[in-house]
Amino acid sequence: MAKKSTTGGPRPHRITDADLQRRREYLSRAERERLWQRRALIAVSVLVGISLLVLVVALVYENLIRPREAISTVNGETITTREYQDRVRFTRWEMGQQLRELYLLTGDINTVQQYASQLTNPIAIGSQVLDEMEEEILLKEEAEARGIVIDEAKINERVDDYMAQLQGLTRPGAPTATPTTVPSVTPTPLVSPTPSSTPSPTTPPPTATPAEGEAAAEIEATATPTTEPTPTVEPTATATLPAESIQATLDKAEADYYNAARSAADVSREVVREVFYYDALRTALRDAIGADAPTEELQVHVRHILIAFDPDNTGQTGLPPTDEQKEAARLKADQVMAALQAGEPFADLARSMSDDTGSAARGGEMDWQSPDTFVPAFADAVTNAEIGAIVGPVETEFGYHIIQVLGREVRALTDAQLNQRRSQMFTDWLAERKAAATIVRSDRWLDRIPDEPTYNQIMGDILPLR
């Protein structure tokens, strides 16, 4: 029987779990590189996924959430960021169009530059637009309460009127008694061809002569010289043009206007028509609220001599006068009063002594107007003085006045005066409604004011900003 060999080859070895673990620990170099590549790929994929998620969230916020966020709420009704920014962009563009029209009509680059500078102040335009949009919510509330409806036909009339004035035409069917003019270029851009609904409450009546207007400016409470240019276009003779041709021209102008607004300001046709809608609504409410305006009022015909505290600054109030200025003015006013009592003609003294140069040239006379147009002390004097009596010196913020009332009677208002009274009634009503309304502006509204289209995009070819 053979014996088992006790020497020779290796003994068989059974692979254990420990062996497998050691093999895994001693992977080849290629295997280790492949492992790190897989890990790096996974990490990059995770980072890309996170970045895409952040981008999607940002896009959703910018395009869906942010445009719907409230800029302001008025009695619970919201003005969204998109609505506000659309209106600001349109207002900037429309203001530029009016300035370009002004330049083409007058060639007055200095006046254009004066108003164009507003385009470099986004906050001023943005604040004005938000004020108007808040007012529009109140106007809409009142219109619904009164049953006033502005339908598509009325909006179309408003649009056609505006296009007609730009083309120098008259809209078919429009009243012929009121000429169409290009709207004035003001710090508040207007789309409407109608006058502003917020005239100064102390503006002299339109019937006053230039001299009378200057006189009124000396004694009115808040008189502010009007420097806004109001260019007009003589309507093109349309008697030989058929209504169909005129309407076709207006329709094309309207389409071009919408396209230009979309291209330059990125606003839709609906945004533009909304501006015309609220313009028509404002006019309708102004007419309704002002319907009860009196057609006559107490007016006075006066003449005065002004001894100003500061003869070099008679048209506006500024710093209060010094004691020395008041004493010197009072002494001079007493001398004028003494001369009148001695028999010197009022008109002669007005021409030689009055610091109101406008009325002085007319012997101190001013046109018939309501006492309400004067500062309180002056108004009280002309309301209560006897006809023909000379009263004074009456002190106002401008100086001392020697006054003679030449006439006082209830007079019918001119069309211009009546229109002004109705506008003032509407302005007062709107101010009361705004004061009573609950208006809450977002803290972010200043950050949401767009500055597009930019100044140079609007005016760069005429008056570039460098």
Q: What ranges do the domains of the chain cover? A: 72-195+244-293+417-447, 296-412
Provide the pairing of β-strand 77-80 with 390-396: unpaired
Cβ(219)–Cβ(398) under 8 Å?
Answer: yes
Q: Which residues of the chain have pLDDT under 50?
A: 1, 177-238
Cβ(450)–Cβ(78) under 8 Å?
Answer: no
Nearest to 70 by CA among 61, 59, 60, 81: 81
pLDDT at 9 (0 to 100): 57
CA 460: distance to chain centroid?
22
Task: Please give the angle made by the CA atoms of 123, 78 and 153, to the nearest 5 degrees.
Answer: 95
pLDDT at 199 (0 to 100): 28
Cα–Cα distance measured from residue 393 to residue 80, given in angstroms and rounded to the nearest whole number:
57
Cβ(185)–Cβ(119) under 8 Å?
Answer: no
Token pair recorded at residue 4 = 């088992």
Cβ(81)–Cβ(69) under 8 Å?
Answer: yes
Given phi > 0 = left and psi -120 to 50 = alpha, else beta, which region is 363?
left
pLDDT at 423 (0 to 100): 93
Cα–Cα distance measured from residue 299 to residue 383, given in angstroms and rounded to the nearest whole number:
9
* Alpha-carbon dihedral sign for residues 130, 133, 139, 140: negative
pLDDT at 183 (0 to 100): 37
Nearest to 416 by CA among 195, 210, 212: 195
Cα–Cα distance measured from residue 32 to residue 150, given in angstroms and rounded to the nearest whole number:
77
Check: CATH 3.10.50.40 for 296-412?
yes
Helix (H) or strand (E) holding 228: none
What's the number of CA atoms in the CB half-sphere (13 Å) around residue 113? 7
CB-based burial of residue 160 (10 Å sphere; 0-12 exposed, 13-18 middle, 19+ buried)?
buried
pLDDT at 33 (0 to 100): 75
Token pair recorded at residue 222 = 């808040």
User: Which residues have C-beta within 8 Å of that of residue 271, sequence separation ≥ 6?
Assistant: 86, 87, 90, 261
pLDDT at 149 (0 to 100): 96
Cα–Cα distance measured from residue 408 to residue 383, given in angstroms and rounded to the nearest whole number:
8
Cα–Cα distance measured from residue 293 to residue 287, given in angstroms and rounded to the nearest whole number:
10
**pTM score > 0.75 for this model?**
no
pLDDT at 19 (0 to 100): 62
CA 344: distance to chain centroid?
51
Cα–Cα distance measured from residue 306 to residue 381, given in angstroms and rounded to the nearest whole number:
14
Nearest to 215 by CA among 373, 344, 328: 373
Beta partners for residue 308, in sequence order:
399
pLDDT at 273 (0 to 100): 97
User: What is residue 62's DSSP assignment?
Assistant: I
The length of the chain in residues reads: 466
* Tokens 């949401």 belong to residue: 448
pLDDT at 407 (0 to 100): 94
